[in-house]
Amino acid sequence: MEGAREQPAPGLRLRPATAGDAGLVMSWRNDPDTVRYSGTGRQVTAEEHDSWMAAQLNDPNPGLFVAEVGDRPVGQIRLQREGDSGEVHITVAPERRGRGYAKAMIGALQDDSALLRGLRRLTAQVHVDNQASLRIFAARGFDRTDVVGDFVQLEWLLPPLPTG
């Protein structure tokens, strides 16, 4: 991963998720705060999560990553590709919130040219009441583009590639 941007959580790295991460990712997804700000507003069942996780792991363009500091998982970030756009989804482990990990995960993604290959923009949808996430995305250069229902639409345009 290229490291041109300041990292608020030194030592954070992203690694592709594995089947062994399924339980941890599900526990983060079903945390009450995560549920409150999710698109569904409800916990997912084990069957739903297993099906979703299998689809993530079998995707030819892997987009689910576990963020670690040392060998300790601190959250997950997902890049859902559609054409030249990638929608960013983040979850920080409940016991690790407030330590700069979300900002660092987004920064690590923004700095990884291999992960961003073929994309022109990153987007995110953040619940209007999730002020912490809105501040974090703004700090990483995302602009508000719209509000749809209970979600603020955000966008970050990738810098142009050097020519020549």
pLDDT, tens digit (0-9, with 9 covering 90-100), for 112-126: 988 899 999 999 999
**Residue 142 reports pLDDT greater than 90:** yes
Please indicate, yes or no, if residue 147 is contained in any of the structural domains.
yes
Is 4's pLDDT higher than 60?
A: no
SS3 category, 27: helix
Q: Which residues contact 54 (CB under 8 A, 6 or more apart)?
A: none
Of 1-5, 7-11, 111-115, 126-130, least confident by mean pLDDT is 1-5
- Global pTM reads 0.90
CATH number for the domain spanning 50: value is 3.40.630.30
Number of domains in the chain: 1
* Residue 162 belongs to some domain of the structure: no
Q: Give helix 101-110 / helix 131-139 axis angle, nearest 10°.
A: 40
Residue at 94 is within a domain: yes
- 5 within domain boundaries: no
Residue 2 maps to a domain: no
Residue 80 inside a domain? The answer is yes
**Phi then psi dihedrals of residue 15, to 5 deg:** -130, 150
Q: Examine residue 3 and state whether it is found in any structural domain, yes or no.
A: no
Would you say residue 7 has pLDDT above 50? Answer: no
Domain holding 56, by residue range, is 12-157
Q: Is the residue at 25 inside a domain? A: yes
